[in-house]
Amino acid sequence: ATDLGGSGGGHDRACGAVIPKPKIKKFITELNKKIK
């Protein structure tokens, strides 16, 4: 999230992020790469 100008946090079983709206598609693309 911070790489895209947002913020995030969480713990072992949960997470959350605030992402600037214009960068949400990029965030989702990068997140999908990391969880595959």
pLDDT digits (tens, 9 = 90+) for 1-36: 899 999 999 999 999 999 999 999 999 999 999 998
- Contact of 1 with 7, CB cutoff 8 Å: yes
Tokens coding 23: 């960068």
Whether pTM > 0.75 for this model: the answer is no
Residue 1: predicted pLDDT: 87
